[in-house]
Chain A
């Protein structure tokens, strides 16, 4: 149980340690009789529990929980992230689970990822040997349960660049029940409206519709200049997606529903 980041990184460099923060993914995935002998608890590490803001952007430390995000005073651009935080599992999960844990777990249905993509988030990675590096979130998650994280590295935080003051944001999650539900599909949108309330710029990210949540760049370009309620989502816009059939819904359904979900998220973000 290290108290300093440097100490933690040394433990990681020795190998075999399992990083745990809120435990909300570590324990459900635990296999009978196969627990590691060393757990590295990042919640004890000084300075990792803070949401900090400066001119350079916003930083979420590795131990920042969903409840911390909800409680933090953040600009409107973060509304989608806050909404996603409120949709993570339950109060119990939000009080324990961390945003960084969510991206490191790299579930295709990770609730936080679309909102972070729509904020252009970057991931801060540290190791004892190589020091600090940072990568775009879109490059950090490389596949289902796969990340660009070496065994001796840990994510120390998420950095979000300064957002336009006028940025408005919304999150939509579709599930088969109200609480404690894994998304069928979800959308996070950050948009800036011009004086005529037309879309000046947009970042639109979709989760649970491909191995890794992703932004729909063609759509982002095509919506520019449109009134928010005039957006149409075409199959071509959704071409980058490759949803699967699973117990939560069919691939065809996900593609069908996500188009409408995007439309609604844009309208919600615009506040119309």
Chain B
């Protein structure tokens, strides 16, 4: 305990008010601000100065509060976002600008961004782009791609507009206010200061046997409330997002299968954990030989991770049509190559965190999640409790991108709350987040494609193995999705694609924006350029000539009568393609170390589950006071579901969004709107919201007895309908409310129409696809191997943009992640378990992005809308690789294309 070391009170000025605290020596300012002084607007993302989320002003200068000894604040002033927002008019203006550009998505980096920007704007009120980048370069954002933040700080004209928020208009994020004022409550912001904490004991080895020592003696230590192991699980010690593949223990038993796997947890007072050295926990490890790559894992002598999965093959996926072998034999030209990628970390700035407590005998878990109902169902199994006894209350989510679909902190919190009966909290450190959370699957892909002299694809044969790590997680989804999507958005009549997920002693690979499709697209889109090159054809025109179209079957035999927008996306790039290529040619004319290249690539993505039920339910009601309530259970993880779904609902109901009150997500009050994954919320939950809005409107119109063309408005508790006959009013207070207080209510469900795939992968995997094509300009420093993208043009077919500003936000953020995957990101256990060895793009790495929105209405989407989130990063990496080839003549077949890799390939090509 360090309490005895607490010294004379520390005095400083926090947000214009004098404060005192009694930190122990060396205590971080961030912790004192958050826990002792209630400044939870100071966010902690890494505790190492790598992310900048905790930026505060210390005597006016931005510093990372996590790196500042609290004592250094003595007699100084400390300003945080919440304080600045309250007292500084310029910060309020900046907050408006963030809102007007959608510059805060999830909002976890926003305090750090805005505080850094305030310091800059105090020096200069009209900063240049370079000044903004220098000032904000120390704050990482994983959602926005930074360009909107630059626009907001520079004061670019607002994109968002006032108005009713009808579908198609850019309104501010409805939940954006707290994100720009410091008021947002994320996973670690719920717990009361000083409550019990959970500390998870994790395997230091990729594979190890272990035995516990005297746990009882440890549990009896002062300050320790409980120790949890597999023996403490009242239900089953297993979870998994796909029931038939559920294989992951909450606590490993006997053997840990990856570095970072949990084996036990301590529930203790914070004072105990400050001094707790994990090496003193009574567990003895015996390191065992581990299979850490997919080749080794499939060898006969490799340890079997799961007995029933022979040779560590988890499962596979398969799609074929036509006669690919014959087609390839008859092709005029063929190309073949092998492409590889490594683990990619989601890198959300908010580590997994939450709080749990017992309320009237029920366990309530407040945590950051993408899938509250799946969390609840998993806890039912683990806790052996009826679902009525569990409540999941999601907090704001500081980025997810797929990894917060799986259980993380929830079972430890729930078990600890149940065992101790007391409130408990848990926030993963950055390194345990990186060790234990799911990753993008590493891939090893061999692809062969043939074409006729005229440039028509004739034959396509794809084989890909994916490292799914120690547990299944979403590996089966990757295995299924990849063969369906590996063709890219093209018409290919002779096709074969096979995938396999292989278990290793690596971290579980799961869902990450695109479910394996970005990896497959690297192979396919790179080889398309090679094929065009071999044929002497323009790469963009080659793609347009082979593009999928309405009325043309996909490789699964699915035929869309409307909404296939890839041709329009590719054609939209033609002007930039011609212009940028000419500019690059002129730039490259003198011999210089910097060579410019232009690359293009395309992608498609099916929204929702693959040939499986995937319903969303949205409830709404109007109460006797005239309050319109939308029970919105579709998790907003920064992408904008709260706003988009409300816009759709409001449009269907015929009222402005300002009249809509959102509640949820909360498993006690919102019906299941499914998980935020597979780019399904706008499409699936959006449709449920549309149906709910339409049903509510129909009831109202019927009650007032007016036609469907009537215009609705609310005047307090009076509902007004106006039509050609005039004005009709309904006094809501006169109606009898139901048990929930609603005088009108509608609960509607939407489930996408799909058809199961047969043995050859033929069927209707998705009711809708979205389409994308990217163009990128890169400068390659030939001598150093550095690749600098200088411009993106991104064309996206979204069917109908519900909120164009949020569409742009998704495009920018996806491109930033695709750029990271292409150029710098690779997770390697032990070596890159922090955000200074694992690099994600900074504000200086993302060039201007021109977004072209294509709207080819989908037959099923709400108002024709399609999903978007995952589509974006599919074309980005291959476009960059194609641009590198165009600049240097060197084909990179492995990502990340680090300077080291690129330069060594250039050297190889020169020799």
Q: Which residues of A contact B (CB under 8 A)?
A: 1, 18, 20, 22-24, 27-28, 31-39, 41, 43-44, 67, 86, 89-93, 95-96, 174, 176-182, 184, 246-250, 252-253, 256-257, 260-261
Contacts and interface: CB of A to CB of B under 8 A. Distances in A.
Nearest to B65: A92
Contact of A92 (B63, B824, B832): B63
B277 A20 contact: no
Given A95-B63, A182-B836, A176 B823 contact: yes
Given A20-B69, A43-B72, A91 B277 contact: no
A89 B62 contact: no
B138 A174 contact: no
Contacts of B824: 176-177
Contacts of B834: 28
Most chain A beta carbons < 10 A, residue from B50, B834, B900: B900
B839 A39 contact: no
A143 B783 CA distance: 30
A37 B64 contact: no
Nearest to A178: B844
B68 interface: yes
Nearest to B432: A32
| 8 A-B pairs closest in CB distance | A90-B138, A178-B844, A179-B137, A33-B277, A249-B900, A28-B48, A253-B900, A179-B842
Contact of B783 (A27, A96, A178, A260): A260
Most chain A beta carbons < 10 A, residue from B63, B140, B898: B63
B224 interface: no
Given A33-B278, A178-B843, A257-B903, 17 more contacts: A23-B67, A23-B69, A24-B64, A33-B273, A33-B274, A33-B276, A41-B71, A91-B62, A92-B52, A95-B61, A96-B68, A174-B786, A176-B898, A176-B899, A252-B904, A253-B899, A260-B593
Given A33-B276, A248-B900, A257-B784, A179 B69 contact: no
B748 interface: no
Given A28-B836, A91-B116, A93-B138, A37 B784 contact: no
Contact of A90 (B52, B74, B119, B904): B52
B739 interface: no
A67 B58 CA distance: 14
Nearest to A65: B61
B904 A250 contact: yes
Contact of B133 (A20, A23, A37, A178): A178
B52 A253 contact: no
A41 B904 CA distance: 45
A95 to B, nearest CB: 5
Interface string B101-143: 0000000000000001001000000000000011101111000
B62 A92 contact: yes
Nearest to A18: B26
B783 A32 contact: no
Given A178-B842, A179-B844, A247-B832, A257 B61 contact: no
Contacts of B5: 37
Contacts of B55: 92
Contacts of A22: 67
Contact of A28 (B49, B68, B843): B49
A254 to B, nearest CB: 8
A178 B784 contact: no
B729 interface: no
B831 interface: yes
B815 interface: no
Given A92-B52, A249-B899, A252-B904, A180 B137 contact: yes
Interface string B897-911: 011100110010000
A180 B899 contact: no
A39 B52 contact: no
26 contacts: A24-B64, A27-B28, A27-B48, A28-B67, A32-B429, A33-B273, A37-B25, A38-B25, A90-B139, A91-B134, A91-B137, A92-B64, A93-B64, A95-B62, A96-B64, A174-B784, A176-B898, A176-B899, A178-B845, A184-B900, A247-B837, A248-B900, A249-B898, A249-B899, A253-B903, A256-B904
Nearest to B29: A23
Contact of B836 (A23, A44, A180): A180
Contacts of A1: 71, 74
Contact of B138 (A37, A86, A179, A252): A179
A261 B899 CA distance: 13
B828 interface: yes
Contacts of B71: 1, 39, 41
B26 A177 contact: no
B66 interface: yes
B785 interface: yes
Contacts of A252: 904
B841 interface: yes
A33 B903 contact: no
A1 B7 CA distance: 11
Contacts of A246: 831
B47 interface: yes
A18 B139 CA distance: 28
Contacts of A89: 49, 138
A212 to B, nearest CB: 21
A38 B828 CA distance: 35
A177 B138 CA distance: 12
Nearest to A95: B61
Interface in B571-613: 593
Contacts of B779: none
Interface string B51-87: 0100100100111101111011010000000000000
Nearest to B74: A1
B672 interface: no
A218 B566 CA distance: 60
Nearest to B67: A23
Contacts of B48: 27-28
A67 B903 contact: no
A34 B845 CA distance: 36
Interface in B782-829: 783-786, 823-824, 826, 828
Most chain B beta carbons < 10 A, residue from A37, A92, A177, A261: A92
Given A28-B48, A253-B903, A178 B66 contact: no
B275 interface: yes
Given A247-B828, A250-B900, A39 B69 contact: yes
Contacts of A250: 900, 904
B784 A23 contact: no
B67 A96 contact: yes
B26 A39 contact: yes
